[in-house]
Amino acid sequence: MDRILFGDNQFFGVNHVSDEKSRMMGIKFRHDSSILKTLAYANDSGIQTFMCTTHDRMIAISKAMSLDPKLRSMGVFPCLPYAHKYANAVTELGVMGAVKEYLPGNFISSIFKGGVAYVSKDYIAMMQLMVDAELKMFRGMSTPVIFLQNVVTDLLLGLGMKDVLKAFHTYVSSKYNAEAGFITMNLPKLTEMLASVGIKHPIVCSSINVDGFRMSGGKDVYEKYLLLGKSRNIAMQIFSGGGTSPEKAIRYVCSLPNVDSILFGASSKENIKNTVSLIHHYDESWIKS
């Protein structure tokens, strides 16, 4: 994994602390050309990996990236499923309508043969169908790591359904020749559960920041756990949802052991360049010290 990863929250109006900022980002990036231009800024700053959700707009963005001489060299880390897409589909189309819209025909056939109750027992088969459906938009692109979104990861974690987490890991490896990644709000608990089913040193993306923002158990618990080196860690939400200064945020995360990658999103060329520069600066500072 690269040291610096570029995220997509800003493109789809996701802001964890301000509805007004969400609205403004939605307006700024309402055209695909604005997203592609910002990705080009990131690439010009040396960023080679785009970590993104499977938002419907990524269908067009992925196609445009594959046709762009500069952007097609970037690796893509898909994060699935995009929960809001399915929630909205259920609201608009109903449960069966949403299923028909997004899942392959053999899933529909299974429902009519065995009933919804029968199909609901086969979580692993449903997971595989979901992965296949979500990844179609990235066909032909380099996707070396495929992530399970925290809304699903943490639900499975809470329910103790470690067999499904293991199955996701196995399926992504065998079907897509990729590594499985897991996004979570509880790094220690998830890593221990994955280890219990034989997944050693997994790729885990979790909130890691100076304020303890969305770090289940608190910052001190994470700092102690990172020392153990049990996972390959991606730090997300490093700016605490916008609650701390970039320099303070990056100085902290760069000082931590076993943080392999830093994920951030930005909406302007200047912010991208400054963030990359700060990461390189504090990485070098800690190496020298």
Q: Output the pLDDT for position 106.
A: 52
DSSP letter assigned to residue 72: G
DSSP H stretches of helix in 115-245 = 116-121, 123-135, 150-159, 162-176, 187-196, 219-226
Q: Output the pLDDT for position 112.
A: 47
**Number of domains the chain is built from:** 1
At 252, which helix (H) or strand (E)?
A: helix 246-255
Alpha-carbon span 197 to 95, nearest angstrom: 33
Give the domain range for residue 34. 4-83+142-288
Alpha-carbon span 224 to 188, nearest angstrom: 10
Q: What is the pTM of this model?
A: 0.88
Token duo for residue 13: 């109006």
In a domain, 227, yes or no: yes
Alpha-carbon span 1 to 203, nearest angstrom: 9
Nearest to 217 by CA among 190, 199, 241: 190
In a domain, 184, yes or no: yes
Token duo for residue 206: 């979790």
In a domain, 135, yes or no: no
CB-CB contact of 220 with 209 (8 Å):
no
Backbone CA torsion sign across 160, 162, 165, 171: negative
Q: Are strands 232-236 and 145-148 parallel, antiparallel or unpaired?
A: unpaired
Q: Output the pLDDT for position 94.
A: 65
Render pLDDT for 87-122 as a digit per residue (tens, 0 to 9). Answer: 555 457 564 565 566 555 554 454 444 444 444 457
Cis preceding-peptide flag for 81 (omega within 30 of 0): yes
Nearest to 155 by CA among 81, 53, 102: 81
CB-CB contact of 263 with 205 (8 Å):
yes
In a domain, 204, yes or no: yes
CB-CB contact of 25 with 267 (8 Å):
yes
In a domain, 201, yes or no: yes
Helix (H, G, I), strand (E, B) or coil at 100: helix
In a domain, 108, yes or no: no
In a domain, 195, yes or no: yes
Render pLDDT for 5-15 as a digit per residue (tens, 0 to 9). Answer: 999 999 988 76
From first CA to last CA, the distance across the chain in angstroms is: 24
- For residue 52, give the CATH number of its domain: 3.20.20.100
Q: Which residue has the tokens 């590594």?
A: 179
Whole-angstrom CA distances from 52 to 69, 82, 143 are 20, 10, 11
In a domain, 152, yes or no: yes
Q: Output the pLDDT for position 137.
A: 95
CB-CB contact of 86 with 98 (8 Å):
yes
Block means of pLDDT (10 residues each) for the chain, length 289 residues? 96 76 88 97 98 95 95 96 65 58 53 45 80 93 97 94 95 98 97 98 98 95 98 97 92 98 96 98 82
HSE-up (13 A, CA, CB side) for residue 157: 22
